[in-house]
Amino acid sequence: MGLHIFLLLSLIPLLCFSNGDELMEEEVITARHIQPQGAPFLINPESPEVQEAAKKAVEEFNAKSKSKKYFRLLNVTSAETQVTNLITYKIDAVIGKTKCLKTADAVIESCVMGKKRLMCKFEVTYNPRNDKHELIDSSCKK
C-alpha cells in the first residue's frame, strides 16, 4: 500500500509539468511616460516647492543686485526640476522692481510696484539634508 501511494505521489509533478507544453499567448507590456531616474522633468510652476525656490532666488538676486531698490517675484512662467543628491530647479520668472529702497527694512510683498519688469532664468538648488536653497545662476533681461 505504501508503495502505491509513493508511486501515485511521484506522478503528480509529471502531470503538472505536462501542461507546460501548451502554448500560451503572452500579453505585451509597453512602458509609457517613463521618466528616467535623475533626468530633468517639467513641474507645475504654481507648485509650492517651485514658488519657494523662486522666492529664495529673488531674495539672493536682491542681495547681489546693484540696484538701489528691491525686486519682487511676480510670476513663474515655467519650471523644470532634477532630483539627484540635491533638487535642482530651473525657473523662468517675471520679476518687478519695487519702490522700496534696500536701505530701509521693508516687507517686500507689501512694497508698491514700479514699472520695470525683468524676464529671469534662475537655477536654484535645494539641499533636503540641511533645508537650504542656493542660487546657482541667474540671468535677467528686459
Domain with residue 90: its CATH number is 3.10.450.10
- Asked if residue 134 belongs to a domain, the reply is yes
- Asked if residue 30 belongs to a domain, the reply is no
- Asked if residue 88 belongs to a domain, the reply is yes
Per-residue pLDDT for the chain (142 aa), expressed as one digit of tens each?
666 666 666 666 665 555 555 666 778 777 666 667 788 999 999 999 999 999 999 999 999 999 999 999 999 999 999 999 999 999 999 999 999 999 878 888 899 999 999 999 999 999 999 999 999 999 999 9
pLDDT at 33: 64
Determine the straight-line distance between the first and last CA of the chain, rounded to whole angstroms: 97
Looking at the structure of the chain, the number of domains it has is 1
* Strand pairing report for 87-101 and 132-141: unpaired
Q: Which domain holds residue 101?
A: 41-141
- Asked if residue 28 belongs to a domain, the reply is no
pLDDT at 1: 64
Cell matching residue 114: 514700479
DSSP 48: H
